[in-house]
Structure formats: C-alpha cells, structure tokens
Amino acid sequence: MATGKINVSVENIFPLIKKFLYSDHEIFLRELISNATDATLKLKHLVSIGEAKVELGDPIIEVKIDKKGKKIHIIDQGIGMTEEEVKKYINEVAFSGAEEFLDKYKDAGKDAGIIGHFGLGFYSAFMVANKVEIITKSYKDEPAVHWTCDGSPEFTIKKAKKEDRGTEIILHIADDSTEFLEDARIRELLLKYNKFMPVPIKFGTRTETLPKPEGAKEDDPAPTKEVDNIINNPNPAWTKKPTELKDEDYKNFYRELYAMQFEEPLFHIHLNVDYPFNLTGILYFPKLTTDINIQKDRIQLYQNQVFVTDNVEGIVPEFLTMLRGVIDSPDIPLNVSRSYLQADGAVKKISSYITKKVADKLNSLFKNNREDFEKKWNDIKVVIEYGMLSEEKFFEKAEKFALYPTVDGEYLTFEELEKKIKDDQTDKDGKMVILYASDKEEQHSYIEAAKAKGYEVLLMDSPIVSHFMQKLETTKEKISFARVDADHIDNLIKKEDSAISKLSDEEKDRLKEELEKVVGEKSNYTIQLEAMDSTAQPFIITEPEFMRRMK
C-alpha cells in the first residue's frame, strides 16, 4: 500500500472543479461513461491492430446504483490501467491520457473515435462524490490496482483482487447529491447523454417475454427471462452509410430521437463528410404547421456519439435551427463562447456545408418529384423564405426551387411566374407588378376583380412574407409587389390593350412604312412600335440627340 500526493497544485484545483468546472453537476456521469467508452474502444482498436492479444468478447458498460451504500458503480471491460498508468493518468490532473493515446496512434486513433480530450473529465466525479475508488486491471498481464481518494490531494493506492480486465469506478455520493442515487434520475441522464454512445450500456435488468414453447396451451403464461437492460443504441442511423438505410429507417430514427413526436418528418438530409472537417448527421424537416415545440425538440449536437448540447446556435445557420435531427462532429470546439464559435473557421465551413446540403436536397426533391414538393411547400416555405432572406448563398440556390403559389393553387417558380405575367402586368415605370393576396377569403372580391381582368394573383401568406417581398424587390430588377386590394390594378398596362399588338405582322410593316413617309427623309429617326410596355404610347419616334443639337 502506498500513499501519495496528486500533482499539479491540486489543492487549488479541487474546489475549482467542484464549483466552476462544469456548472452542470450532472455531467459527471457523461464524463465517466465517456472514459469507460474510450477504454473499450481503445481495447477494440489494440485488438484490431494485433497489439493486444486478448479475447475481446462483447464488452459492455454497466451502471449500478447501491442505494443503501450510497454508491454508484460504473464498470467497463476496456483496457484497464496498470499501477503505473493510474499514477500517470489519474494522479496527474489535467494530463489527458486521451491526447497521448491519440498522439501515439495518430490517424488510427482518429478512426477509433476517442472521446476525451479535456483532461479533467475524471475529476468531475468529485462534483457529486466525497470519495472515489478505482479498481482496475489492465489488459496487460499485471496485477489489479485499487486507488482511493477522498477529494483531498491525498490518495492511496494498493493491489486489488480483480480477476477480469477493465475498470470499476465507485462514487461515494455526497449528501448534497443524493438525487443521483435515484434510478429515475440516472436513467434520465443516461438517456440524455448516452443514448447513442458506441458501447452498450447496461442499467439494471428487464423482463423479456419469450415465445411460447410448441404444444403450449392457450392460457399457459408465456415464459419470461431476465435480460440486461441496455439503455442505448450503439449504432444510430447517422453513423451508417446512406446506402444502408431505407426511408423507413430514417423515420424510425426520428421517433427514436424525439420520443413524443407522432408527426412524421417531411424529409431527411443525411450529412456525411470527412474532409476538410469531420461531420455526420441527419437533419429532418418537421411539419411546421402543426404546433411543434421548437424549444424542446431541437437539433442535437454530438461528439463521437456523446450528446453535447441541443443549442446549435452559431453552428447551424439560424434559419436551419427550425429543423430537427443530429449533427455529430469532433471538429466543433466546445467549452467556448458562442461568439467565438461564430468566428471559428472550421465552424463557418461546417455551417456553409450544411446550408449547401440542405439547398441541394431541396433542389433534388423539387426536380425529382415536383408534385410532392408542391404538396410540402406550405410546411417548408417559412424555412426557405427565411433562409433566402438571411443567407445570400442560400438565396442563389433557392431561386431554382422556391415556389410562388397562385390563388388558384398553381405553384410557380419565379422564372415561370415572370414568363407568365411579364407582358401583362407592368406599371408605368416598366416594373413587373406581382399581385398578391394574403387572405383568400377576406380579399375574395378583389381577387375576382383582378382575375376578371386576366391578372395572375399570388397567395402570399407566410408570417415573414413582407420582409421576403422586400428582399425580392431589392434583389431583382424591375419588379414590385402590390396587394390585390390596393388600387394598383387600374394602373397596370397590358400588351393586349394596345391597338398595335392586335395588328398582324404585315399590318405592322405597313404602319411602319406610313410613319416613315411622315417622318420623311430624316432617316436618322428611329421608329419603334409596341413601346407601350413602359410608356402606354402606341409607338415612339426617337430623334437622335446629335440631330437635335444640329438644329
């Protein structure tokens, strides 16, 4: 048995950890399970490269509550630690073993998906415990070690009688943290932070009903069996390749993410990139028309399958925070302020990648099944219009698929709309006037009047429509929006209204000839028919400026 002192002026660090390291005490469990996961993945990795010659089996992590003893046990079957390693990794606070491991196994380590890199994760245990024990046996053939520390810089270390490989962490829960001795509280935390962690996590057992044996009578009870209650799904959909997943799998994962969500998502976008940054994830467009809980069911951010936050502000462009789903990236710096995040180069790239993927998906939905896209338009238009308002890059892409519904239920792209009305709905300044109604019932008579004159009327009723129209008016040349009940209609000019447009080409030529005769030998005059697009004049005769000066 040995005693010692933990390095790095820990006297100062412990109270700091307890108070300030993490404002949220509950994350101790996330940190310890992350370590257990790291330890398991490290072993898997060492076995796979032939460096650890042990039987891997199907390692799991177990969380146990000992209510009477006021203890929580976290047990893994990972690489474990030798005495030397305990001294090195545990006693040297703020010395992150994960970083050293990554250094050593560099790129291979990256693929192993190691979680820890803060170097203080283990000590977060002291936020809720007044004494912590580690009983650990390395995969290397060395005796097991028992380390104990009561929160002061003093610790004891001795040999232990542990037969199987791995680490058990025992937390002696402090009196102010007994909430963590409640099953329900721990279950809640496991589901919040560890629901998709890559190693199965056992918390208690559950009764499984087995199929009845052959020949059983109808009212014989079905046999049951106690099985491990595995709390997490170690292989969530976003970690798989898009080609491995069917539409149904995406829908199931949506329900897995948002348990109380009965409404189906409209569609999904699978994110998958590994250069120049690492990012996977699945985003869903929810039906925004039904009353949704934007606050609660938000996009979740993970790092290597560990839940980090559901506040993705600064990482995802604001207009996409209305979406749902998961983003997983080890490249997003954590523990930094939001304003720092927004300025970070990698995060900026991630944000614009996501924007581009969303735009591309919308474009392909539009192209491949326009009818279906039109059906969904009402549910997605707010996101798209908001995106067009706030992100220039998105505006450019969305121009191709943004739709403008008419009061008659036709959905036109801007280009189609323009083609349709350009010649018929112009004001005296030559601007194309887009008539719109915001309420079909209320403005019914105006709509009918406009339609009677042969005008097209759009139905623009999204909550941000006025900003959106303003944006279009300033971005596009020569267009203006006019509400159908304003008196603009009377000022519109139609091509058909002019006498000239009714003439045949032959008649037009003759008219031109006659006019030329009138204008006479002054061949420098230009005669332009059908100039009334902008002027309401049947024709224009222009006199070049230099002629006028000569006069």
* Residue among 90 and 417 whose Cβ is closer to ligand ADP: 90
263 has binding-site annotation: no
State in angstroms the smallest separation of the CB of 171 from ligand ADP.
Answer: 13
State in angstroms the smallest separation of the CB of 196 from ligand ADP.
Answer: 19
State in angstroms the smallest separation of the CB of 99 from ligand ADP.
Answer: 7
Nearest Cα residue to 333 out of 357, 315, 354, 307 = 315
167 has binding-site annotation: yes
Q: Does 78 bind Mg ion (CB under 5 A)?
A: no
Q: Which of 78, 116, 265, 317 binds Mg ion (CB under 5 A)?
A: 116
Residue 177 interface partner, choices Mg ion, ligand ADP, none, CB cut-off 5-8 Å depending on type? none
**Do residues 307 and 30 touch, judged by C-beta distance below 8 A?**
yes
Q: What is the DSSP string of 281-343?
A: EEEEE--SSS---TTTS--EEEETTEEEES--BTTB-GGGGGSEEEEE-TTS--SS-HHHHHH
Report the distance separating Cα 289 and Cα 386, nearest Å.
15
Report the distance separating Cα 257 and Cα 346, nearest Å.
26
Written as one letter, the residue type at 285 is F
406 has binding-site annotation: no
Across 138-193, the runs of DSSP E, i.e. the strands, are 144-149, 154-160, 166-173
Per rule CB under 5 A, count of chain residues that contact Mg ion: 3
Nearest Cα residue to 448 out of 407, 409, 490, 483 = 407
* Residue among 78 and 151 whose Cβ is closer to ligand ADP: 78
DSSP H or E segment with residue 126:
none
Cis amide leading into 286 (omega within 30): no
For residue 323, what are the contacts with CB-CB under 8 A and spacing of at least 6? 283, 284, 285, 286, 299, 316, 358, 383
Kindly tell me the sign of the dihedral angle through the C-alpha atoms of 363, 365, 368, 372.
negative
Residue 484 interface partner, choices ligand ADP, Mg ion, none, CB cut-off 5-8 Å depending on type? none
State in angstroms the smallest separation of the CB of 234 from Mg ion.
Answer: 18
Q: Which of 97, 121, 286, 325 binds Mg ion (CB under 5 A)?
A: 121
State in angstroms the smallest separation of the CB of 182 from ligand ADP.
Answer: 24
**Which residues sit opposite 267 in a β-bridge?**
285
State in angstroms the smallest separation of the CB of 2 from Mg ion.
Answer: 24
**Do residues 283 and 383 touch, judged by C-beta distance below 8 A?**
no
Nearest Cα residue to 56 out of 69, 45, 64 = 45
Largest CA distance in the chain: 120
460 has binding-site annotation: no
* Residue among 90 and 384 whose Cβ is closer to Mg ion: 90
* Residue among 177 and 303 whose Cβ is closer to ligand ADP: 303
* Residue among 106 and 217 whose Cβ is closer to ligand ADP: 106
Residue 303 interface partner, choices Mg ion, ligand ADP, none, CB cut-off 5-8 Å depending on type? none
1 has binding-site annotation: no
Report the distance separating Cα 79 and Cα 56, nearest Å.
10
**Do residues 320 and 383 touch, judged by C-beta distance below 8 A?**
yes
DSSP H or E segment with residue 271:
strand 267-273
35 has binding-site annotation: yes
Nearest Cα residue to 307 out of 61, 2, 37 = 37
Please report, as ranges, the residues that interact with ligand ADP according to CB under 6 A: 31, 35-36, 38-39, 76, 78-81, 89-90, 96-98, 116-122, 167
DSSP H or E segment with residue 16:
helix 10-16
Query: Residue with CB nearest ligand ADP?
Result: 116
* Residue among 31 and 485 whose Cβ is closer to Mg ion: 31
Q: Does 35 bind Mg ion (CB under 5 A)?
A: yes
* Residue among 97 and 281 whose Cβ is closer to Mg ion: 97
State in angstroms the smallest separation of the CB of 148 from ligand ADP.
Answer: 15
Residue 304 interface partner, choices ligand ADP, Mg ion, none, CB cut-off 5-8 Å depending on type? none
Q: Does 151 bind Mg ion (CB under 5 A)?
A: no
State in angstroms the smallest separation of the CB of 158 from ligand ADP.
Answer: 18
* Residue among 98 and 354 whose Cβ is closer to Mg ion: 98
**Which parts of 284-303 interact with Mg ion (CB under 5 A)?**
none
Residue 167 interface partner, choices Mg ion, ligand ADP, none, CB cut-off 5-8 Å depending on type? ligand ADP
Cα 193 off chain centre by: 17
Cα angle at 103 between 100 and 108, to 5 degrees? 120
Nearest Cα residue to 189 out of 289, 297, 295, 307 = 307
* Residue among 58 and 247 whose Cβ is closer to ligand ADP: 58
State in angstroms the smallest separation of the CB of 69 from ligand ADP.
Answer: 20
Binding-site residues for ATP = 31, 35, 76, 81, 96-97, 167, 338
Binding residues: 31, 35, 76, 81, 96-97, 167, 338
The contact set with Mg ion (CB under 5 A) reads 35, 116, 121
